[in-house]
């Protein structure tokens, strides 16, 4: 049976605040601060456990090897090198698995396989070297080529940030869907990371029916306001699109096109008069996991920052008191990730598949969560300051930490 499985990136032992992402307001605001890798990873794991407890299917990806030796060599690294480049080699940014790949589930593709294209993430140097190791991991997790097709990145002249700019509407996860690709146009103060031609290429490569695909431009004001990915201002699940009214460049045209192709859609818009764009970006209300519970009801898994924001809370309370399609709100604490601009939705990649066709080593249950927690609690650094990046003892410690996790998960071949 096809189900939605959320694969979360386990937060790596090098999680730090280096302020590397221009246009990501939270990351810029925390630049230079002390980070807490152990707490960050435990928060992420607690979110995964909470989703398991809701009856959802949960998977994970292991942290990538950091510091990335191959990347440092490619940069001809020496002591004169810019510290931002060193921080880039140490970045734990692969935790934001929504940026790992774009996923088109089997019902949407011409060959009936689930297609994944690893994201090249070329706009940000600290993320541009994620894809080779991410690809290795995707090829392992989704090795069954009768059910999956895992593709390399689109050419680097087109920026691609994966599922963070991709939404899917469908009557049920296992049914044919409408895939919506949201791209940005460059020219504003902050980079538009998802290029239109990258989105179009991914849709062609995944062999989607052109009649079931839409390409929608992100509102330049949203990018300028800190919505560096569309998933900061909109999220979809099955027949529901939950969006800020300023998410798209031409909202009326976008809603019309969506309704034309998928008339069952329920569009829940949040007006700027109730939650401003700035409040939406600050609280990450839309960087939520909109999920269908086993009861058939939909729940919104929001960061506690959203729950704690007065205007957002007011809106959420009114929504659940009313008759809308989203019946429950579940706040989660992923503060360490949030401080780098990554909410609950950034931390997961959605894959619709039969869990039996996925390498079981990437699927989570309580016993495995206990094993992961033990390794993190013992070996992940408690704190990390940006000036420590590059330190030899720390390098050994974080390498050993990752190796211990891979051993506990029987994933030695990713070493």
Contacts of 263 (CB under 8 A, 6+ apart): none
Q: If binding is defined by CB under 6 A, does position 20 make contact with ligand SUG? A: yes
Q: If binding is defined by CB under 6 A, does position 158 make contact with ligand SUG? A: no
Q: If binding is defined by CB under 6 A, does position 91 make contact with ligand SUG? A: yes
Question: Catalytic residue among 36, 229, 238, 244, which?
Answer: 229
CB of residue 231 vs ligand SUG: minimum separation in angstroms?
5
| 346 included as an active-site residue | yes
The residue count of the chain comes to: 415
Which one of 10, 18, 48, 86 is in contact with ligand SUG (CB under 6 A)?
A: 18
Place of tokens 């949030």: 338
Which one of 5, 119, 223, 232 is in contact with ligand SUG (CB under 6 A)?
A: 232
Which one of 21, 117, 120, 309 is in contact with ligand SUG (CB under 6 A)?
A: 21
Instruction: For residue 214, give both structure tokens.
Output: 């839409």
| 161 included as an active-site residue | yes
* Residue 167 CA: distances (Å) to CA of 77, 129, 240, 256: 39, 25, 10, 16
CB of residue 370 vs ligand SUG: minimum separation in angstroms?
28
β-bridge mates for residue 59, sequence order:
7, 363
Strands of the sheet containing 326-332, edge to edge, are 289-292, 298-303, 326-332
Which one of 14, 43, 93, 237 is in contact with ligand SUG (CB under 6 A)?
A: 93
Q: If binding is defined by CB under 6 A, does position 120 make contact with ligand SUG? A: no
Element (H, E) at 395: helix 392-408
- DSSP 3-state assignment of 279? helix
CB of residue 322 vs ligand SUG: minimum separation in angstroms?
28
Q: If binding is defined by CB under 6 A, does position 19 make contact with ligand SUG? A: yes
CA atoms of 259 and 78, how far apart (whole Å): 55
| 373 included as an active-site residue | no
CA atoms of 283 and 335, how far apart (whole Å): 11
CA atoms of 414 and 117, how far apart (whole Å): 19
Candidates 95-103, 166-174, 267-275, 402-410: pick the segment binding ligand SUG (CB under 6 A): 95-103
List residues near ligand SUG by CB under 6 A: 17-21, 24, 27, 91, 93, 96, 98-99, 124, 127, 164, 228-229, 231-232, 340-342, 346
């Amino acid at each position: 049976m096809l189900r939605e499985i959320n694969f979360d990136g386990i937060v790596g032992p090098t999680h730090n605040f280096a302020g590397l992402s221009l246009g990501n307001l939270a990351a810029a605001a925390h630049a230079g601060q002390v980070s807490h890798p152990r707490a960050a990873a435990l928060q992420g794991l607690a979110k995964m456990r909470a989703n398991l407890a809701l009856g959802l299917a949960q998977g994970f990806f292991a942290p990538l090897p950091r510091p990335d030796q191959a990347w440092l060599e490619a940069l001809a690294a020496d002591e004169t090198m810019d510290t931002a480049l060193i921080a880039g080699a140490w970045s734990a940014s692969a935790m934001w698995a929504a940026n790992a790949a774009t996923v088109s589930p089997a019902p949407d593709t011409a060959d009936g396989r689930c297609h994944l294209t690893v994201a090249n993430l070329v706009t940000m140097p600290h993320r541009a070297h994620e894809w080779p190791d991410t690809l290795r991991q995707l090829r392992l997790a989704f090795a069954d080529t009768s059910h999956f097709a895992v593709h390399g990145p689109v050419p680097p002249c087109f920026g691609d940030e994966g599922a963070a700019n991709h939404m899917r509407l469908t009557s049920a996860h296992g049914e044919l869907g409408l895939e919506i690709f949201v791209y940005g146009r460059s020219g504003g103060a902050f980079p538009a990371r998802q290029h239109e031609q990258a989105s179009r290429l991914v849709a062609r490569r995944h062999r989607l029916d052109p009649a079931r695909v839409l390409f929608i431009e992100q509102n330049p004001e949203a990018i300028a306001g800190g919505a560096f990915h569309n998933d900061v201002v909109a999220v979809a699940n099955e027949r529901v699109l939950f969006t800020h009214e300023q998410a798209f460049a031409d909202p009326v045209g976008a809603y019309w096109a969506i309704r034309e192709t998928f008339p069952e859609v329920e569009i829940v818009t949040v007006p700027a008069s109730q939650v401003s764009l700035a409040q939406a970006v600050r609280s990450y209300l839309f960087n939520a996991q909109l999920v269908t519970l086993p009861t058939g009801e939909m729940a919104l898994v929001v960061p506690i920052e959203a729950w704690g924001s007065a205007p957002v809370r007011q809106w959420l309370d009114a929504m659940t008191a009313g008759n809308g399609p989203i019946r429950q709100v579940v706040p989660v604490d992923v503060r360490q990730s949030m401080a780098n601009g990554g909410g609950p939705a950034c931390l997961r990649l959605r894959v619709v598949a039969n869990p039996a066709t996925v390498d079981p080593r990437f699927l989570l249950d309580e016993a495995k969560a206990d094993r992961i927690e033990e390794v993190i609690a013992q070996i992940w650094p408690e704190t990390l300051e940006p000036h420590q990046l590059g330190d030899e003892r720390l390098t050994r410690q974080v390498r050993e930490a990752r190796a211990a996790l891979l051993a506990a998960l029987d994933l030695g071949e990713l070493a």
